């Protein structure tokens, strides 16, 4: 799922807000971390008990909010695919996914049946299918899934996957940059287990609140050198911003074993010793990738 809003939506202020407890541990003990967005209406707080950063109050997760937050994810197909062929950016992303799928295969131990939750345009499904996986995807957006089927010819279903009857089990379930958009991540995390084949693998990717990049930007803001009202990487549809410290114990508490954990960049796939140090040892890259088994 993409993570930036268009210019016109950057001034969006939701009509209804709600006070919420921490969505990981239920605690109401927290402190204000940062205000941002139009009129500084968006507040990130940090849970005093589990360290999760989340929006509080947050926009009420109603039809009006969901439509405004998600009707903008439509223009990206032309970035990837034009006149029946991959664009340069499409090729870059294709190669990136090929490497990711190789990594996934090494964790899963085989190529097999794959389910992607939050499949957006289905581009990952396309690469997976063309590299030998049997791939199915689900996304809440009718526009995205229709484009995925028509442009990329992938098996993309539309709907709330909690309500769909999917034909499991799957050897690999992939959920990338989607969990932080929903108000009930625990329901999803529990349900993934029901669709996994024996010894199957769940791969979850989320932004990393504790990345070097974010720490640096926050530090700049504190000094007053950076006064921006809005940052592309923080959108009203990110209801929480996990980090390893908050997310790893949460996943374990819901019965998952972490069999692989790394950070990563969406631009380049890790290769050299510097990237290895940053992503595998220190884990301070912009995004987190968990491999999990039951
Ligand atoms: Zn908490």
Q: What is the CATH number of the domain that holds 198?
A: 3.40.50.150
pTM of the model: 0.92
The answer to whether residue 202 is domain-embedded is yes
- For the chain, the domain total comes to 1
Taking the centre of ligand 1 as the mean of its atom positions, its distance from the CA of residue 247, in whole angstroms, is 10
Taking the centre of ligand 1 as the mean of its atom positions, its distance from the CA of residue 24, in whole angstroms, is 5
Per-residue pLDDT reduced to its tens digit, 73-110:
556 789 999 999 999 999 999 999 999 999 999 999 99
Residues with CB under 5 A from ligand 1 (ion): 22, 24-25, 27, 47, 49-50, 52
> E strands within the chain?
17-18, 30-36, 42-47, 53-55, 58-59, 81-82, 85-86, 113-117, 134-139, 156-158, 170-176, 196-207, 240-241, 257-264, 287-293
Q: What is the reported pLDDT for 38?
A: 78
Taking the centre of ligand 1 as the mean of its atom positions, its distance from the CA of residue 53, in whole angstroms, is 8
Taking the centre of ligand 1 as the mean of its atom positions, its distance from the CA of residue 182, in whole angstroms, is 16
Taking the centre of ligand 1 as the mean of its atom positions, its distance from the CA of residue 207, in whole angstroms, is 17
The answer to whether residue 181 is domain-embedded is yes
The answer to whether residue 209 is domain-embedded is yes
The answer to whether residue 275 is domain-embedded is yes
Q: Residue 182: is its pLDDT beyond 70?
A: yes
The answer to whether residue 2 is domain-embedded is no
Q: What is the reported pLDDT for 273?
A: 94
Taking the centre of ligand 1 as the mean of its atom positions, its distance from the CA of residue 29, in whole angstroms, is 8
Q: Which domain holds residue 266?
A: 7-293
Angle at 242 between CA 239 and CA 246, to 5 degrees: 125
The answer to whether residue 114 is domain-embedded is yes
Q: Per DSSP, what are the bridge partners of residue 204?
A: 175, 290
The answer to whether residue 147 is domain-embedded is yes
Taking the centre of ligand 1 as the mean of its atom positions, its distance from the CA of residue 256, in whole angstroms, is 18
Per-residue pLDDT reduced to its tens digit, 26-83:
999 999 988 887 778 889 999 999 999 999 999 888 888 877 776 555 567 899 999 9
The answer to whether residue 241 is domain-embedded is yes
Q: What is the reported pLDDT for 64?
A: 80
Distance of CA 24 to the CA centre of its chain: 16
């Amino acid at each position: 799922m993409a993570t930036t809003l268009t210019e016109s939506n950057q001034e969006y202020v939701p009509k209804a807000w709600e006070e919420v407890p921490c969505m990981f541990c239920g605690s109401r003990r927290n402190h204000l971390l940062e205000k941002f967005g139009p009129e500084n209406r968006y507040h990130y707080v940090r849970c005093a008990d589990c360290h999760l950063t989340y929006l509080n109050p947050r926009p009420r997760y109603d039809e009006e909010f969901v439509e405004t937050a998600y009707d903008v994810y439509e223009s990206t197909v032309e970035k990837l695919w034009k006149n029946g062929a991959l664009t340069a950016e499409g090729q870059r992303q294709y190669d990136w996914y090929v490497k990711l799928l190789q990594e996934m295969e090494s964790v899963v131990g085989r190529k097999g049946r794959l389910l992607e939750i939050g499949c957006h345009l289905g581009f990952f499904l396309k690469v997976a299918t063309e590299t030998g996986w049997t791939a199915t995807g689900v996304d809440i957006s009718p526009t995205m899934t229709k484009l995925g089927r028509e442009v990329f010819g992938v098996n993309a279903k539309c709907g709330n996957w909690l309500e769909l009857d999917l034909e499991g089990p799957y050897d690999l379930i992939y959920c990338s940059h989607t969990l932080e958009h929903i108000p009930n991540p625990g329901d999803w995390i529990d349900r993934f287990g029901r669709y996994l084949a024996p010894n199957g693998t769940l791969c979850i990717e989320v932004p990393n609140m504790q990345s070097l990049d974010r720490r640096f930007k926050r530090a700049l803001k504190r000094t007053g050198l950076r006064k921006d009202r809005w940052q592309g990487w923080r959108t009203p549809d990110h209801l929480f911003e996990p980090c390893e410290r908050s997310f790893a114990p949460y996943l374990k508490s819901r019965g998952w074993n972490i069999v692989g954990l790394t950070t990563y960049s969406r631009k380049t796939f890790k290769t050299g010793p510097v990237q290895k140090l940053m992503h595998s040892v220190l884990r301070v890259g912009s995004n987190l990738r968990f491999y999990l088994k039951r």
